[in-house]
Amino acid sequence: MESAEFAEPAAGTDPSAGGPLAGVRVIDMATVVMGPYAAQILGDLGADVIKIESPNDTVRVGALHRTPGMTPLNLNVNRNKRSVTLNLKDEGERARALELIGTADILITNMRIEALRRLGMDYDSLAADHPRLVHVHAQGFRPDSDRAKLAAYDETVQAASGLLDLAQRAGDVGAPVVLPSIIADKVAALTIVYAALAALVHQRATGRGQHVEVPMVDTLLAFNLVEHLQGLTFEPPMGPTGFPLSMNKGHRARPTKDGLAMIIPYSPQNFRDLFAAAGRPDLAGDPRVNGEFIDAQRDGEALAELLETVTPHLTTEEWTEVCTKHSIPVGPVLRLDDAPEDPYVREGHLLDVAEHPSEGAYRVVGIPLTFSATPASVRRHAPLPGQHTQEVLAEIDRGEVRR
């Protein structure tokens, strides 16, 4: 079991020194996953991230915890941050929050526009006093649309962005199940990150901040349409939406002698090589695998069924060797419960164990990228609610941060 070693920086030190975003300050005033995950990524990249939060944030509520509020989801979206608890409805504490915002390069929030205006924390209210501030606002639907006041959750965004339609058509089912991942929140979070960084480049060049709006539905719809716009790309349309390979009902994991593997032969030669490796060269004469290409729309399901009559002949490891030899896409199906002991995960330090000051031993989701000159790092454990309130406010009072 690998052990990740990192310690809380001493008060008054620069916790972001060495990262590509060293010297950048981010105020995370968002809740749940989308905004906090984006802010965490900026923190991983070296930014000094201060989270202004309520102790009742959804990510701090759950059955699994050792200390109240320190849930798995909280540990996975709030590392590399300092937590400041302020009641924004209280005039004095709101004033302190505004002081903190005044020290920041980037503000991330997912509050409704009306609530931000009441607090004096919308872009128009802040821009005059803080012209360098990059104000990133995210919510479910565009604020200027007739859906702006609809409550948005990952499931409803998957529906409104066309993702459930794709799932229904690909699975040929009456009631599609949502993708078992909060993909809308996480795709929007990644969009927040690149949008904030682009605005930061502009700020560094001009000295001016700006308002950045990230609507979840628009973001996920654009994400889905990259490949799925298909025939509707042209006007008039040349066909329906839906990327044929992704919509192919035979696009599924295959049974092997000892488990499951994602074996995806794309070309006629791929199929013939697989049949030969399974000891069924007779199947290589099938006319469907002897043309110029595989017609996935016409033959995908039938060829998948044929393929699955031979894949149980070899183990997953044996198929991996065969596919590697013949340049056929292959991947073992990872059971998430087995991830900590998976050699690839271990070698990449993607789930090392660290010692949290209040939670004890826990697994830290690794940073999935590397920089040769300015490495990203995990420097702070996810904090307790309000853990750094006095420390951060004292820094402001001492004038340690100026923008």
Q: CA geometry: angle at 139 spanning 137 and 144, to 5°? A: 85
- Work out the burial of residue 199: count CB atoms within 10 Å of its CB; fewer than 13 is exposed, 13-18 middle, 19 or more buried: buried
Q: How far apart are CA 281 and CA 266, in angstroms?
A: 18
- Quick check: is 55 in a domain? yes
284 has a pLDDT exceeding 60:
yes
Q: Is the pLDDT of residue 259 over 60?
A: yes
Of 306, 332, 358, which one is at a domain's C-terminal end? 332
Q: For 19-28, 245-254, 331-340, 373-382, which range has the lowest pLDDT when averaged over its residues?
A: 245-254
The whole-number pLDDT of residue 58 equals: 84
The residue assigned the tokens 């002698």 is 257
Residue 1: its pLDDT value, please?
Answer: 46
Contact between 214 and 198 (Cβ < 8 Å): no
In a domain, 130, yes or no: yes
pLDDT at 55 over 70: no
The token duo for 1 is 């079991």
Last residue of a domain, one of 288, 313, 332: 332
185 is catalytic: yes
The one catalytic residue in 44, 185, 218, 299 is 185
**Residue 138: CA atoms inside 13 Å, Cβ hemisphere, count?**
35
CA distances from 270 to 71, 178, 205, 218, 306 (A): 46, 32, 51, 38, 14
pLDDT of residue 8: 47
Tokens of 81: 């941050």
Residue 164, in any domain of the structure: yes
pLDDT at 271 over 90: yes
Cα(184)–Cα(220) distance, integer angstroms: 6
Residues above pLDDT 90, as percent of the chain: 87
- In this structure, the answer to whether residues 49 and 196 fall within a common structural domain is yes
The answer on 289 and 148 residing in a single domain is no
Average pLDDT over residues 357-373: 96
For residue 319, is it within any domain? yes
Residues 70, 165 within the same domain: yes
Sheet containing 330-332: order of strands:
254-255, 260-263, 330-332
Query: Could you tell me if residue 244 is inside a domain?
Result: no
CATH number at residue 283: 3.30.1540
Q: Report, as an integer, the average pLDDT of 278-303.
A: 92
198 & 155 share domain: yes
Does residue 40 sit in the same domain as residue 149? Answer: yes
Confidence of residue 57 (pLDDT cuts 50, 70, 90): confident
Given a cut of 70, whether residue 42 has pLDDT beyond it is: yes
Asked whether residue 65 carries a pLDDT value surpassing 80, the answer given is yes
Q: Does any domain span residue 341? A: no
Percentage of the residues of the chain whose pLDDT score is greater than 70: 95
> Nearest to residue 277, comparing CAs of 316, 314, 324?
314
CATH number of the domain that residue 136 is part of: 3.40.50.10540
- Domain range for 213 is 25-224+367-398
Q: Does 63 map to a domain?
A: yes
Q: Mean pLDDT across the stretch 110-120? A: 95
Q: Residue 79's closest CA among 392, 364, 388?
A: 364
Band (pLDDT 50/70/90 cuts) for residue 12 is very low
pLDDT 10s digits, 156-215: 999 999 999 999 999 888 899 999 999 999 999 999 999 999 999 999 999 999 999 999
Work out the average pLDDT over 87-116: 96
Q: CB atoms < 10 A from the CB of 167, how many? A: 16
Lowest mean pLDDT of 53-62, 156-165, 170-179, 256-265, name the range. 53-62
Same domain flag for 89 and 159: yes
Residue 187 sits in the same domain as residue 262: no
Q: Average of pLDDT values for 52-66?
A: 88
At 94, list the tokens. Answer: 């709101």
CB 246 within 8 A of CB 240: no
Q: What is the pLDDT of residue 28?
A: 98
Residues 191 and 325 in one domain: no
Query: Which of 49, 57, 55 lies closest to 28 in space, CA to CA?
Result: 49
Residue type, 382: A
Beta partners for residue 50, in sequence order: 27, 82
Bond from prior residue into 255 cis (ω within 30 degrees of 0)? no
pLDDT digits (tens, 9 = 90+) for 350-360: 999 999 999 99
3-state class (DSSP) for residue 381: coil
CA 256 distance to own-chain centroid:
31
Q: What is the DSSP letter of 326?
A: T
301 with 388, same domain: the answer is: no
In sequence order, which residues have a C-beta less than 8 Å from that of residue 277 and are 6 or more positions away?
Answer: 314, 319, 322, 326
pLDDT, the chain, mean = 93
Residue 236, CA distances (Å) to 226, 227, 240, 391 in order: 19, 18, 11, 61
Domain total of the chain = 2
Whether 5 has a pLDDT exceeding 90, the answer reads no
Residue 373 and residue 318 share a domain? no
Overall average pLDDT of the 110-119 stretch = 95
With H, G, I as helix, E, B as strand and everything else as coil, classify residue 364: strand
pLDDT at 14: 47
pLDDT of the residue at 316: 96
Averaged pLDDT, 222-236: 98
pLDDT at 297: 81
Residue 215 within any structural domain of the chain: yes
**Domain match, 211 and 160 both:** yes
Query: Long-range contact list for 277-285, CB < 8 A, 24+ apart?
Result: 277/314, 277/319, 277/322, 277/326, 278/310, 278/311, 278/313, 278/314, 279/310, 279/313, 280/310, 280/313, 283/310
Say how far apart CA 166 and CA 172 lie, in whole Å. Answer: 10
For residue 153, pLDDT over 50 is answered with yes
Quick one: 77 and 175 in the same domain?
Answer: yes
The last residue of one of the domains, among 332, 352, 383, is 332
Report in angstroms the alpha-carbon separations of 337 from 70, 341, 364: 21, 9, 15
Mean pLDDT across the stretch 79-93? 96
